[in-house]
Structure 1
Amino acid sequence: MNVSNPLSIPLVFHPIYSQLDLPYRHRFPIEKYQAIYDRLTSLGVPTSQFHQPHALTPLQLARVYSPEYVNALSRGELESKAMRRIGFPWSAQLIERSLTAVAGTVLTSSLALEHGKALNLTGGYHHAFANFGSGFCLFNDLYLAALNMLQTPTINKVLVFDCDVHQGDGTAKLASNNPKVFTVSIHGEKNFPHRKQISNLDFPLAKGTEDSEYLHTVEHALHLAFSTFKPNAVIYDAGVDIHINDDLGHLNISTQGVYARDCMVFDVCKQYGVPIAAVIGGGYQRDIESLVDVHLQLYRAAGVVA
């Protein structure tokens, strides 16, 4: 497992991650993915360190998720109520972007198995179920990545460790009948989704939770997950919508707290010798540069940048 050299840590990115025309003042910060890439390269990360995914096809997704849903969404035939639940207006651009973003997480999971760790510059579409999308999530990349990891003979238990402020409801439901995928969600108790699913381990947090309690919860969750499930691969959703300045989070976690959390997750995986694939998850500050500052903690914790 080669993770000592920062240049050996694969990063996954495609310009299409940020290529989506949205209505004025739309809540989703689509610009942040390109902005993270630009910040990393400005800090000296070479372009050769980035891997570019190729879009999955609807047929590939339909082998795992509802063919009726996948095909209707891909063709623009999904009813308007279902599109409102997703939160984006339909466009061919939306579908191509989503198929590429999901492919990015799957590629990240393969690279993590090869290199010990890998990071996607998008990902964490955990509100997507088998037969519907929700909360800006069309197709669930985390569960697909877990299934991809399980194709490797040495991998028989994958932990999805979700620290986005919103519960990973779609992932929990998708994995509920798969004993090889263990789901953990640390999230805001009084936040979207209003109807929670049952993860293998859920840690709902009160509004206003601060660093000390939060980091204690993350540490406890990691200990429980590794001691009870004993995973041999991890998919980490490093959502930063827990941040005190996030518009949708309602928790009071500092930038240093985000960094400490990410370091803790990487350190535990290193301690157990377990490969980790990380995605950036949610983050909803309208100030994109400030938002990038918080997302950058993941890359600092991984050792990609100082």
Structure 2
Amino acid sequence: MLTVAWRSEYIQPLPDGHRFPMLKYELIPEQLIRESIIRESQIFKPEPAKRIDITAVHSEEYLTKLETLALSRSEERKIGFPHDERLVFREKCIVNGSIYNALYAIENGCSINVAGGTHHAYSDRGEGFCLLNDIAVATSYLLRHRLRERVLIVDLDVHQGNGTAAIFKNEPGVFTFSMHGANNYPLHKEQSDLDVPLPDGITDEPYLKLLERHLNEIAERFQPDFVFYQSGVDILHTDKLGRLAISAHGCALRDRLVFRFCKIHRLPVAVSMGGGYSQRLSDIVNAHVSTYREAASIFD
């Protein structure tokens, strides 16, 4: 069974200039129900994450600065959003969505957060439209509560998960795997446990071969017992920022490959949406909905 995290607050707190790419968070649940991929009963709406869970990853000082709206202009510019209390509330909901996402994945095999993948957030600062690192906090939750011992983070957003890599660089219970554009943001890449930098213009076949080979190698080498999957659709050839040449069909095959890998190895998988910046909003929404469709076909 597939479970889905969603709150209307994922979209509401954003200023008008940022609303176009963020409208997907409102449209995806509507499309999922319209296509009967999920039922409304499969949706859960998280409250903001608890401070104790957030500060297991993020510093007390940084969280306090977020909550008291004390970020400097320089810190605000690095994040890319105007800093206000609604945005902090939104981020806390996303983080708790990913915690519950992980718990539902353990229960049901697969669960998806209609948001999340804020992988540029470090323990002490935000970057790249990311204030808090939802996957890192949820991973920490599983390890701290001894619900899982060996967590694999599969980050297939076009941008390297630099914050996630830095947070877990000395954590033997976490394996960070990132396939990302070599020439894309961030300029300075952190070192994941496995980084696969991709050339501009890579197409479906070589991309999928690389992914399959590395997943199989990681399974043998690390033997994970849980997977977080960052399923950004900014790898699409239509993406304004991505620089890759992956078709919509190739993106769906990518998702299918990851979900089959998890199913074969009996690994619960919690999915976060990640990025998507195609010119047409329909291209973004359809690609994200395809991720749910592939998950439902394998786990339902």
Q: TM-score per shorter chain, which class?
A: over 0.9
Q: Does residue 107 of the first structure (1) align with residue 100 of the second (2)? A: yes
Give the 5 Å matches for 1:69-84. 69-84=62-77
Q: Give the residue type in structure 2 aligned to 1:38.
A: E
The residue that corresponds to 2:269 in the other structure is 276
Q: Give the residue type in structure 2 aligned to 1:246.
A: D
The residue that corresponds to 1:3 in the other structure is none
2:95 & 2:254 partners in 1: Cα distance? 24
Q: Give the residue type in structure 1 aligned to 2:241.
A: L
Task: Give the length in aligned residue pairs.
Answer: 298
Give the 3 Å change call, closer, same or farther, for CA 219–42 of structure 1 in structure 2: same
Match of 2:217 among 214, 224, 236: 224
Describe the SS at the equivalent of 1:150: helix
CA RMSD between the two structures: 1.7
Deviations along 1:93-149, one digit per CA (max 9) or x if unpaired, are 111111101111111011111111111111100000000100000001111111222
In the TM superposition, residue 151 of structure 1 has moved relative to its aligned partner by 4.1
2:102 & 2:225 partners in 1: Cα distance? 13
The residue that corresponds to 2:25 in the other structure is 33
Deviations along 1:157-208, one digit per CA (max 9) or x if unpaired, are 0000000000010000000011001000000000000000000000000000
Seq. identity, %: 37
Which structure 1 residue ranges, 4+ long, deviate > 3 Å from structure 2? 57-60, 151-154
TM-score (ref. length: structure 2): 0.95
Q: Does residue 252 of the first structure (1) align with residue 245 of the second (2)? A: yes
The residue that corresponds to 2:148 in the other structure is 155
Match of 2:55 among 47, 56, 62: 62
Q: Which moved more, 1:110-119 or 1:190-199?
A: 110-119
The residue that corresponds to 1:4 in the other structure is none
Q: Give the residue type in structure 2 aligned to 1:9.
A: L
Give the 5 Å matches for 1:42-191. 42-44=34-36, 45-151=38-144, 153=146, 155-191=148-184
Consecutive unaligned residues in structure 1, runs of 5 or more: 1-7
Contact 2:57 2:136 in 1 (8 A): no
TM-score (ref. length: structure 1): 0.93
Give the 3 Å change call, closer, same or farther, for CA 32–304 of structure 1 in structure 2: farther
Deviations along 1:66-110, one digit per CA (max 9) or x if unpaired, are 111111012110101001000000111111111101111111011
Consecutive unaligned residues in structure 2, runs of 5 or more: none
Deviations along 1:22-74, one digit per CA (max 9) or x if unpaired, are 243x4871111111011011112221110111111445422431111111012
Give the 3 Å change call, closer, same or farther, for CA 137–196 of structure 1 in structure 2: same
Contact 1:167 1:187 in 2 (8 A): yes
